[in-house]
Structure 1
């Protein structure tokens, strides 16, 4: 290659001033070049790899956020709404409804939280925790998860070795022992009903009469308007 370039340099025509003059290649020389190669060489710097036109409407040149970039925004919005809901707390109407029936109390997240706080003072929090665990178990459909959850609930609330053992009669315990042979999402239905009745008849009336509930009720009551003279 070096000798060819030197030889070509020697044959370059010169003008009257003695400067070398480079002539334009013939058209037939350009035709022999691979058109694909020319495409690469002549492509605009911002063109995509599949479009070699200069049209600005090419969809490849438009930058769009990916799905992964948009998902966190939606998740963040949902978390914010949930946090606002928790910060708001129960309304006066909510708290008043708790005194109507035990069902109204236990189906309310804020009601359960307040009732659980009361049960702690009576050292019977495990009753509510067992009832809630059974509620979650009844929603489970995966067989493996059901078996694992049944075993965990038994160890936490049924076993006599557990510090959080709930109070159940011998009949219900016998039913549980039979159900444990083939665990299902309804293994503890009888036990859950018995604990529900226990809380409804025993703990619930004391909670409604407790200072914890009455103080919460008073804190939400609107002040009476002043009497007009």
Structure 2
């Protein structure tokens, strides 16, 4: 068991190193020269050494900027209000929800109440990544997605099993627009099996249907 944990830590470190290479390649800010004197390069969750505390303070500042960029890129879609027929169709399958811009926006709002909005944010980021063809842009987006949703240091880390993480770590060596395909599918399945049934049975969905069923109030006639 210890050997397997060590292998996973080494693979994680390798993926982070690959992300760092991509960051340096695009002229991103690097650590100062004396950073090599840090007491460790530790990725385990139990580490409480002072170097992580100092680095954590720096990353908090950087993360706030990254969060704003990610939120801007993955903000709830400005979609029109769904029709009653569209909203009712969401009960037939999760695919109906995800294929509808209004459905994704409403479902994402529900995920926010369950503190799992990062699942939809990650899925949307992967969809945008797959549309990109410019190699330089792809590498930058892969690095950003890894930092935002895959890294164990991220506050928005999505839940992935060890097999998928191993695949990602290997893919990070040569990033492409499909680097996160396995991870995206696993998160899609997680939302489908876990959050989707609760959404369909939630007060939020019931209230949405009620609001769509009620006709808008008729404005009073203009005074002569």
Fold agreement, TM-score > 0.5: yes
2:197 paired with 1:205: yes
3-state DSSP class of the match of 1:100? coil
Q: Give the one of 131, 138, 141 matched to 1:139.
A: 131
Cα-to-partner distance string for 1:32-66 (whole Å, 9 max, x where unaligned): xxxxxxxxxxxxxxxxxxxxxxxxxxxxxxxxxxx
Look up the match of 1:125: 117
Look up the match of 1:100: 92
CA distance in 2, matches of 1:189, 1:117: 24
For structure 1, list consecutive stretches of 5 or more residues without a partner in the other structure. 1-85, 224-229
Cα-to-partner distance string for 1:60-98 (whole Å, 9 max, x where unaligned): xxxxxxxxxxxxxxxxxxxxxxxxxx6851110110111
The normalised TM-score by structure 1 is 0.59
CA distance in 2, matches of 1:87, 1:145: 26
User: Once superposed, what is the RMSD of the aligned Cα atoms?
Assistant: 1.3
For structure 2, list consecutive stretches of 5 or more residues without a partner in the other structure. 1-77, 216-224
2:184 paired with 1:192: yes
Look up the match of 2:160: 168
Moved more, 105-114 or 173-182: 105-114
- Equivalent residues in 2 for 1:17-32, closer than 5 Å: none
CA distance in 2, matches of 1:107, 1:217: 18
CA distance in 2, matches of 1:87, 1:128: 16
CA distance in 2, matches of 1:128, 1:180: 22
Look up the match of 1:112: 104
Larger RCO (alpha carbons 8 Å, 6+ apart)? 2
Q: When the two structures are aligned, how many residues end up with a matched partner?
A: 138
CA distance in 1, matches of 2:203, 2:148: 30
CA distance in 2, matches of 1:88, 1:197: 26
The normalised TM-score by structure 2 is 0.60
- Equivalent residues in 2 for 1:49-128, closer than 5 Å: 88-128=80-120
Following TM superposition, where does structure 1 have runs of at least 4 consecutive aligned residues deviating by more than 3 angstroms? none
Inter-CA distance 144–87: structure 2 relative to 1 (3 Å threshold): closer
1:222, distance to aligned residue in structure 2 (A)? 5.2
Cα-to-partner distance string for 1:124-165 (whole Å, 9 max, x where unaligned): 000000000000001100000000000000000000000000
